[in-house]
Every structure is written in C-alpha cells, then in structure tokens.
Amino acid sequence: VLVVLSGGTGGAKLIEGLSREVPAADLFIVGNTGDDFLFHGLHVSPDLDTIAYTLAGIADPEKGWGIAGDTFVVLERLARYGAEDWFRIGDRDFATHIRRTELLGRGLTLSQVTAELARALGVEAAIVPMSDQRVETRLCTPAGELGFQEYFVKRRWQDEVESIVFAGAERSAPAPGVLAAIARAEAIVIGPSNPLTSIGPILAVPGIRTALREAASPVIAVSPIAGGAALSGPAHRLLESAGLEPSPLGVARAYADFVDTLLIDRQDASLEGPIAALGVEPHATDIRMPDLAAKRRLARLVLEVAGL
C-alpha cells in the first residue's frame, strides 16, 4: 500500500499520476478536512471531493475544483434568495454535499460517507479523511479570525496571517485505518500541498505525526514551492508568516522530523546543501505538472525514490 497525504489541487495532480502507475486499490489517500465548512447548511469537504472527482475522471481540469462541465443553476437561485455565492458550487457538486450532509445526519461518520461517495463514483482507491472529528483550520489575521475558505476563496488570501489554529485538533483522532496504513505502508508520500494549511491539519491530528516519524517505510515529500512561489495558492506567504523560508528549504524545515526525501524543483537546486543539512535528502527535478504526462513522470520518480 502507498499512503498519500494530500490537500486539494496540487496533491490531486500527483495522485492522478500515481493512480496511473500503481493499481488504484493500492492507494490509501489521507485527505485534509481542515478546510471543510458548512455552506448553506451543507457539509462541504473541498479536498476530499477534489481527490474523488480527480480519481473518478470527472474533475474540472481548468478550474482545479468541481466537476467538469458543471452548471450553476442552484447557486444562482440561492444568490437570488440572498444567500452568499462566493464559494462556487456547481449543480453536480451540490448533489455531493447534499448527500454527504444527509448521510452524516443519519449518523454515518465522515469516513463512511467518503467511502460511500467514492464507491458510487467508481473510485477504487481508498480516500480517507484525516479524522472523523471536526478539525477546523482558522487563520488569525488583522481582520480577525477567518475560516480557511473565507481566507482563501472569499478574501483571496490577501490578509496577513499572524497564526494558524487547528480548532478541535486536540480532541480529534485519526480516522479508522489511518495509523495502521501508515505503519504498514510500502512508502508514504506527502503531496505537493500547502505544508501549513493542507498537510498541517493532518499532522495536527494526535498520533499521525508520531506514526510518520516511526514509519519504517520511506517518506517522500514533493515541494509545493518552486523558485520562491507556490505552484498555486499562498504556501510561500504562509511559510513566511510562520517564520519559515518561503522556499523548499522552509518546506524541508516543516517536515524535517519525518520526511526522508524532498523532491524540489531544479531551479531550487542551490538549496540542496541547506536541505541536506536538516537531515532531509533533496532530489532536484521538474516538479511542475501541467499535463498528464508530467503527472505520471513525477509519480514514477516518487515511486523510484521510494524503491518501488
């Protein structure tokens, strides 16, 4: 089994590549749920859905979220009713959130619901939330404390972030199977996701970080930053505000206690020395994934580094 820790967009690209290189049933994906939120009373799990839609082959390749070709009739009507529409949910996507909310309301856990939705979409890989308990990524800014989607989507990550809180993390537990999968994995992959707001919430669930440190298998991370800027989103800014370098070196520092190898971009090759000094083996390559060929190439390299 290959365990992948992942946020949304960037992680999903690597997962798409991996799913073409190993049998789907061998993938055990631990998804970030710190971004989950209630929108119009519905439970939205943006990262879990991006991963599921990607593996189901229905993700929107342009936008990086949602379902390809989706329509927005429901959202337009909701806006007419005075509801907020800054988070764009398409009609097909709404069905996912309606179904998830209904099943959670019946008492199913988020793991069970996520498995059920993935099965219905024909996804064979295991997609598992980091926890069945609610852990909420909150960003403390001069404008006040913001939920992740409010910071990221509504306010377009323009606020200065003073600190990040994972509300509820201390009372949470890893979802069933997560610790066992990490312990038994042939390799563990940390996707090219935001270290602080995508991988950070997963690591904040008690037990997961320790399990990664103690795992016998190789742990390989892919940098979400190349040449001083995130491949997408605000990773560089958040690293800086956390007192870390806005570069693969900051990523290495954030992961130094459990990552063996960090894939970085060739343009950051000058950081190989400082990264190695942290006890993390750097591996320079082309980490951008503009198309399926690049996704598969990077996935093969990850597997090769893992010795698989």
Give the interface with a second copy as residue ranges (CB under 8 A): 40-42, 70-71, 73-78, 80-83, 91-92, 94-96, 98-99, 101-102, 105, 116-117, 120
User: Cα–Cα distance between 147 and 73 in angstroms, integer?
Assistant: 26
φ and ψ at residue 163, rounded to 5 degrees: -160, 165
Residue 125 near residue 54, CB atoms below 8 Å: no
Q: Which is nearer to a second copy, 74 or 126 (CB)?
A: 74
Residue 300 C-beta: closest distance to a second copy, Å? 33
Q: Which is nearer to a second copy, 92 or 209 (CB)?
A: 92
- Ramachandran quadrant class, 273 (left: phi over 0; alpha: psi -120 to 50; beta: rest): alpha
**How far does CA 40 lie from the centroid of its chain?**
23
Residue 13 C-beta: closest distance to a second copy, Å? 24
Residue 149 C-beta: closest distance to a second copy, Å? 16
Angle formed at CA 7 by CA 142 and CA 220, multiple of 5 degrees: 115
Q: Which is nearer to a second copy, 71 or 163 (CB)?
A: 71
Residue 223 C-beta: closest distance to a second copy, Å? 36
Residue 213 C-beta: closest distance to a second copy, Å? 38
Amino acid 265 reads D
- Closest residue by Cα to residue 28 from 118, 100, 148, 90: 118
Q: Which is nearer to a second copy, 70 or 132 (CB)?
A: 70
Q: Which is nearer to a second copy, 42 or 278 (CB)?
A: 42
